């Protein structure tokens, strides 16, 4: 769990500027250009360099337990499914079982850590005026949200999060599992390097397929926040209104920057996790 949590923190911190630009593009809570370069300039002009890491504190508080649970529970689910399916220990799990293990681990982590993800979404999903932001740290965001909208507001967007967690983590871990079965570890290539490559490809596949659901999740998280009105009655109402206003392309706004972000993010996650596991096994 410690290895998984640290791997997630390393990856998120390294790619937070790309994550911030992606979220602003998704939510539309900014003025001016919607290009990567335009959003980058808007952040620097309004919030300075530190604005590129807005929400990273909330990210790390969320990511450590989330990734600790994802990676450790994935190992547990794989072990359980291996026993249930009577798969030999020297053979990779089948593709459906690899997908199932990853999906279950993603849902487990999302269900247990959702309020932290919600707070991160509100901090990062709006562009503040120069020197002024609607939300500060994660604790302030939680406090203001509960004060303004009630405790249950912390679970806005939980439905698409749980709906997306199964395919997202399932595709990511499943892709890694498939690649490991096709290209088993041999020779002198360090295992962490292979895991980085497989993880990067898995992240791209997962991000590409599940991105529309992530856009709806962010829109639901943001509505009702300070300076934002409540527009959607629920998940499907958000889908309907978003499609009616801007068409299918609206669901994919920010996809390019997300794919650019996902490859190094997932690669660093899987590579760091494998390295930290090997290091801890050697020294502890």
How is residue 225 written in tokens? Answer: 């926040």
Of the two residues 3 and 160, the one the predictor is more confident about is 3
Q: Which residue has the tokens 């959702």?
A: 114
Residue 179's nearest CA partner among 155, 161, 196, 163 is 196
Mean local confidence (pLDDT), 112-141? 74
CA 16 remoteness from chain centre: 11
Nearest to 201 by CA among 123, 125, 271, 143: 271
Mean pLDDT of 211-231: 82
pLDDT of residue 240: 95
Where residue 72 falls among pLDDT bands split at 50, 70, 90?
A: very high
Q: Say if residues 92 and 195 touch (Cβ distance below 8 Å).
A: no
- Higher-pLDDT residue of 58 and 115 is 115
Average pLDDT over residues 168-176: 90
Q: What pLDDT, on a 0 to 100 scale, did the predictor assign at position 224?
A: 78
Residue 132: pLDDT band by 50, 70, 90 thresholds?
low
Predicted local distance difference test score (pLDDT) of residue 198:
92
pLDDT value for 261? 83
Asked whether the predicted pLDDT for residue 190 surpasses 70, the reply is no
Q: What is the pLDDT of residue 91?
A: 79
Specify the pLDDT at position 189.
60
Q: What are the structural domain ranges in the chain?
A: 2-283
pLDDT > 70 in the chain, percent: 91
pLDDT of residue 200: 93
Q: Is the pLDDT of residue 251 over 60?
A: yes
Q: What is the DSSP code string of 148-211?
A: HH-GGGGGTTHHHHHHHHHHHHHHHHHHHHHHHHHS---TTS-HHHHHHHHHHHHHHHHHHHHH
CB-based contacts of 95, cutoff 8 Å, min separation 6: 174, 177, 178, 181
**CATH code linked to domain 2-283:** 1.50.40.10
Q: Which residue has the higher pLDDT, 59 or 189?
A: 59
* Average pLDDT taken over every residue of the chain: 85
The pLDDT, as a whole number, for residue 100 is 94
Judge whether 25 and 252 are in contact, CB under 8 Å: no
Q: Give the Cα separation of 135 and 55 in Å (integer).
A: 9
| CA distance to 95, 123, 144, per residue, from 226 (Å) | 44, 11, 9
The answer on pLDDT for 94 being more than 70 is yes
Q: What is the pLDDT of residues 205-219, one digit of tens each?
A: 998 999 999 899 888
Q: Is 186 left (phi over 0), alpha (psi -120 to 50) or beta?
A: beta
pLDDT for res 242: 92
pLDDT attached to residue 262: 86
């Amino acid at each position: 769990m410690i290895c998984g949590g640290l791997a997630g923190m390393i990856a998120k911190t390294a790619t937070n500027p790309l994550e911030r630009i992606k979220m602003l593009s998704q939510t539309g809570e900014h003025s001016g250009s919607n290009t990567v370069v335009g959003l980058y300039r808007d952040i620097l002009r309004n919030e300075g360099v530190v604005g590129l890491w807005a929400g990273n504190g909330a990210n790390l508080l969320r990511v450590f337990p989330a990734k600790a649970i994802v990676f450790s529970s994935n190992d547990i689910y794989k072990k359980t499914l291996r026993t249930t399916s009577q798969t030999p220990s020297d053979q990779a799990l089948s593709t459906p079982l690899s997908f199932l293990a990853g999906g279950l681990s993603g849902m487990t982590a999302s269900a247990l850590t959702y309020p932290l993800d919600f707070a991160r979404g509100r901090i990062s999903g709006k562009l503040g005026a120069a020197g002024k932001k609607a939300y500060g740290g994660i604790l302030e965001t939680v406090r203001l949200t509960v004060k303004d909208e009630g405790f249950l507001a912390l679970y806005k967007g939980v439905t698409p999060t749980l709906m997306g967690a199964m395919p997202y983590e399932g595709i990511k871990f499943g892709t890694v599992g498939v690649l490991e079965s096709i290209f088993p570890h041999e020779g002198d290539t360090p295992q962490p390097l292979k895991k980085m490559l497989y993880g990067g490809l898995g992240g791209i596949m997962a991000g590409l397929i599940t991105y529309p659901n992530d856009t709806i999740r962010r829109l639901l998280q943001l509505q009702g926040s300070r300076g934002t009105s409540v527009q959607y009655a629920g998940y499907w109402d958000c889908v309907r209104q978003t499609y009616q206003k801007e068409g299918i392309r609206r669901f994919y706004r920010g996809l390019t920057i997300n794919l650019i972000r996902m490859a190094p993010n997932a690669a660093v996650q899987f590579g760091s996790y494998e390295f930290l596991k090997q290091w801890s096994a050697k020294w502890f």
